[in-house]
Amino acid sequence: MSRCCIHPSILSADFVNLEAELARIGSADAVHVDVMDNHFVPNLTLGLPVVERIQAVSPIPLDAHLMIADADRWAPLYADLGLASVTFHAEAAMAPIKLARELRARGSKAGMALRPATAVEPYLDLLGEIDMLLIMTVEPGFGGQAFLDVTLPKIRRARAAVDGSGAKVAIQVDGGISASTIERAAEAGADVFVAGSAVYGAEDPAAAIAALRASAEAALRAGGPVR
């Protein structure tokens, strides 16, 4: 049985002091690194050289979320950095099966992300090819957005499909995750939670991480056995 995982997003961190900001979340399961290219999404954040330096100093594994165009070309280069997990957007990949296999071959877990309006059903046959399915609970591109409850039915359908397939696929949610929304996401079937301002905006990030994890696990226990 696995516990819920909390992945703080450094999109809400102080970019001038990233190494110190990473140290503040040492109790998390991984650090979520948002890579944006100002093409796939209307924002620009980090690229390969910065992620490479983060990988070198981070006390916890890196979970990269690539909100970039031409994922088939760029995603394998992030896996080459030694990242624990690399997630590409299905909407930005021409050959998602090939890409997922390449990420795994290069030593990273393979994640696939879907925008809020992208249906999950066309991708259910790919569950055996990925390690994590990221269901965006806001439109990708900016932090601080409000959680979209309209995504909860999609999370439930994804969870039912994963459980029915027997595949060992984590369901990650990203966007608007906080003390007031994490239980709803967990009840729907998510087990990996990206939280930005809910962690970095707290006076004590470690306490915020612990509280989020406890809330998610309590919601899962209430709804059935913890996966």
Catalytic positions = 34, 174
Q: Dihedral of CA 111/63/9/95: which sign?
A: negative
CA angle (56, 200, 195) in 5-degree steps: 85
Beta strands per DSSP E along 1-143? 5-8, 31-36, 62-67, 85-89, 109-114, 132-136
Which element (helix H / strand E) includes 163?
helix 152-165
- Give CA–CA dist 182/191, Å, rounded: 10
